[in-house]
C-alpha cells in the first residue's frame, strides 16, 4: 500500500511540475482548440461542466476523466448531442470494452460544428459560403493497481480543426489517477498536454498553447441519504482566474490597468477588500453539485459553477447564470440523460444523452 501511495504521489508531482511550466495569468482568449473545454455529455454539463470526480458504470464519465474507465462500462455505447445557439451544434460518441486482466479500453469522437458562414474579402465584398468544424478522436485506456482502490487512465487525442481554407492538427494527452472505495471517490487529472503539428497559418507558428488544465475532484455518497455530493477544483496550477470584463461600464478596470483611484481609509477596510477579492478568486476555481437518487433507476442532478456566473454576468442583471441541472433515467439496457445549463440571458445549453449496453 505504501508503495502504491508513493507512486501516486510521484505521479501527481510530475503532473503539477510539468504543467506549471505552461501556466499563464490569463485563461480566456489565449489558447487554441477551446472546444475541448466544452462539456459535451449531459452528465458533465448537469454537474457544472465536468464529472471528473465521479466513479461508476456510466461510460460518459470517461469524457471528463479517462481514469474513470472501468470494466463495468464494457460494451456500452454513448451518444450525446446538443443543438447549441443559432445553428451551432456539437456531440460526443463513445464506446468501451474490457480486456480482463489487461485493463479496459475505449474510444470517443467529439465534434463541434459552427454552421454555415458567409465569407467577405478585405473590401467588404461577399465571396463564398464556408463551414467551420472541430473534431477530436480519442483512444482511452485505464487499469487498476493490484490489490488497491487506485487506478490510472490516459486518453490520447488527435485534434482536427478546419475553418474554411485554414486547417490545424494537434495531439494531446489526458492523464488521471482515481481512488474509489465504497461511497467515496476522488481524482486528479491533467488535461490537454500536447502540441500542435500544423497551425492554421504559418504566421501563427506551431507554438500555440492548448487549453491545458489540472483538476481535482471528489464525490461522496452520504450514508443512508439519497444523494451524492460532488466538488471540483479547477485550474490547480493557476491562481488568478479574473479577467477584464468587456462590459465593465463602471470604469473600474481597463485593458491597460486599473483606473480606480479611490483608496480605503482604514486597515480593516483594506483587509476586508483584499479578503473579498481573494475569496472571489478562490470561488472561481470551485464547482459544486449533487446527484439526488430518487429511485434505483432515476436521479436528479444540479450544480453551480461560480466562475461561469461571474464571467456571464451583465452589469444591470445578475440572473441565474452558472446554474445547471438535469436527470438520468435507466430502462433495462438503455440510459437516457438530459441537462440544461444557464449560460447567459440570450443563450442556454441543452444536451441529450443516450447510453446502450450491447
pLDDT tens-digit profile of 130-168?
Answer: 889 999 999 999 999 887 889 999 999 999 999 888 899
Torsion of CA 249, 252, 254, 258, to 10 degrees: 170
Q: Which domains does the chain have, with CATH numbers?
A: 2-241+284-357 (2.40.160.40)
- Provide the pLDDT confidence category of residue 91 given band limits of 50, 70 and 90: very high
Q: What value does the CA radius of gyration of the chain take, rounded to a whole number of Å?
A: 22
State the maximum Cα–Cα separation within the chain, in Å, rounded to a whole number.
Answer: 68
Does 180 have pLDDT greater than 70?
yes
3-state secondary structure of 293: strand
pLDDT at 124: 84
List strand residue ranges (DSSP E) for the chain, in order: 76-83, 89-98, 104-120, 126-144, 150-163, 166-181, 184-198, 213-221, 227-233, 286-295, 298-305, 323-331, 334-341, 349-357
- Give the per-residue pLDDT at 256: 38
Residue 119 has a CB neighbour count (10 Å cut-off) of 12
pLDDT in tens, 201-255: 776 555 678 999 999 999 999 888 899 999 999 999 988 888 665 555 444 443 3
pLDDT of residue 107 exceeding 70, the answer is yes
Looking at residue 67, its pLDDT comes to 95
Q: What is the pLDDT of residue 87?
A: 79
- Looking at every residue in the chain, the average pLDDT score rounds to 83
Residue 258, judged by CB atoms within 10 A of its CB (0-12, 13-18, 19+), counts as exposed
Residue 94 has a pLDDT of 96
pLDDT in tens, 69-82: 999 999 999 999 99
Pick 289 or 165 by higher pLDDT. Answer: 289
Nearest to 284 by CA among 68, 49, 90, 85: 49
Written as nine digits, the cell of 6 is 508513493
Among residues 12, 11, 8, 36, the alpha carbon closest in space to that of 150 is found at 8
What is the Cα–Cα distance from 51 to 68, expressed in whole angstroms? Answer: 10
| Contact (CB, 8 A) for 183 and 223 | yes
pLDDT at 257 over 80: no
Position 13 confidence tier, pLDDT thresholds 50, 70, 90: very low
C-alpha cell at 135: 473534431
- Comparing CA positions, the residue from 148, 158, 152 lying closest to residue 65 is 152
Amino acid at each position: 500500500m505504501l508503495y502504491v501511495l508513493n507512486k501516486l504521489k510521484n505521479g501527481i508531482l510530475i503532473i503539477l511540475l510539468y504543467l506549471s511550466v505552461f501556466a499563464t495569468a490569463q485563461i480566456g482568449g489565449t489558447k487554441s482548440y477551446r472546444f475541448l473545454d466544452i462539456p459535451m455529455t449531459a452528465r458533465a454539463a448537469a454537474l457544472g461542466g465536468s464529472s471528473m470526480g465521479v466513479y461508476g458504470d456510466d461510460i460518459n464519465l470517461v469524457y471528463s476523466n479517462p481514469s474513470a474507465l472501468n470494466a463495468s462500462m464494457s460494451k456500452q455505447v454513448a451518444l450525446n448531442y446538443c443543438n447549441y445557439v443559432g445553428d451551432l451544434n456539437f456531440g460526443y460518441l463513445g464506446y468501451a470494452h474490457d480486456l480482463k486482466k489487461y485493463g479496459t479500453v475505449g474510444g470517443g469522437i467529439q465534434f463541434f460544428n459552427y454552421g454555415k458562414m458567409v465569407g467577405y474579402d478585405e473590401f467588404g465584398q461577399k465571396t463564398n459560403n464556408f463551414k467551420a468544424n472541430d473534431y477530436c478522436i480519442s483512444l482511452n485506456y485505464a487499469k487498476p493497481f493490484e490489490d488497491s482502490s487506485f487506478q490510472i487512465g490516459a486518453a490520447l487525442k488527435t485534434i482536427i480543426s478546419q475553418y474554411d481554407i485554414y486547417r490545424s492538427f494537434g495531439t494531446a494527452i489526458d492523464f488521471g489517477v482515481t481512488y474509489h472505495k465504497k461511497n467515496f471517490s476522488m481524482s486528479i487529472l491533467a488535461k490537454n498536454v500536447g502540441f500542435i503539428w500544423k497551425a492554421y497559418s504559418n504566421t501563427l507558428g506551431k507554438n500555440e498553447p492548448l487549453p491545458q488544465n489540472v483538476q481535482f475532484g471528489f464525490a461522496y455518497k452520504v450514508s443512508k441519504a439519497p444523494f451524492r455530493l460532488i466538488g471540483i477544483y479547477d485550474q490547480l496550477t493557476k491562481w488568478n482566474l479574473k479577467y477584464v470584463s468587456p462590459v465593465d461600464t463602471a470604469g473600474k478596470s481597463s485593458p491597460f490597468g486599473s483606473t480606480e483611484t479611490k483608496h480605503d481609509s482604514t486597515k480593516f477596510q483594506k483587509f476586508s477588500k483584499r479578503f473579498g477579492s481573494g475569496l472571489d478568486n478562490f470561488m472561481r476555481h470551485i464547482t459544486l453539485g449533487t446527484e439526488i437518487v430518487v429511485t434505483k433507476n432515476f436521479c436528479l442532478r444540479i450544480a453551480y459553477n461560480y466562475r461561469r456566473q461571474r464571467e456571464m454576468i451583465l452589469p444591470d442583471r445578475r440572473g441565474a447564470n452558472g446554474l445547471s441541472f438535469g436527470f438520468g433515467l435507466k430502462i433495462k439496457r438503455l440510459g437516457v440523460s438530459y441537462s440544461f445549463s444557464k449560460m447567459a440571458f440570450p443563450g442556454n445549453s441543452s444536451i441529450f444523452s443516450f447510453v446502450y449496453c450491447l
